[in-house]
Amino acid sequence: MIQIFNPSRLTRQPFFWDLVDYLDRHDDVILREIKAQFPEVAVDKLLEEYIKAGLILRENKRYYLNLPFLESTESLALDQEVFVRDDSPIYQEILEKDFKTELRNQTNAAILEEYTDFAREKMTLSNYFYKVKFQYLLTEEQQRLYEILGDVNPEYALKYMTTFLLKFLKKDQLMQKRPDIFVDSLVLLGYIVQNEDGKYELAVEFDKERFIFIKKEG
Residues 117 and 207 in one domain: yes
Is there a single domain that holds both residue 76 and residue 160?
no
Burial 204-216 (b: 16+ CB within 10 A, else e): bebeeeeebbebe
Same domain for 87 and 138?
no
Same domain, 42 and 88: yes
Model confidence, pTM = 0.90
What is the number of domains present in the chain? 2
Q: 127 and 69: one domain?
A: no
Q: How many CB atoms lie within 10 A of CB 66?
A: 15
Q: Express each pLDDT in 4-48 by its tens digit.
A: 999 999 999 999 999 999 999 999 999 999 999 999 999 999 999
Query: Which domain does 40 fall in, by range?
Result: 1-97
Q: 209, 115 in Cβ contact below 8 A?
A: no
Give the pLDDT of residue 218.
64
33 in the same domain as 87: yes
CATH number, domain at 82? 1.10.10
Alpha carbon 136 to its chain centroid, in Å, reads 7
The answer, yes or no, to whether residue 217 has pLDDT greater than 90, is no
* pLDDT tens-digit series, residues 105-156: 999 999 999 999 999 999 999 999 999 999 999 999 999 999 999 999 999 9
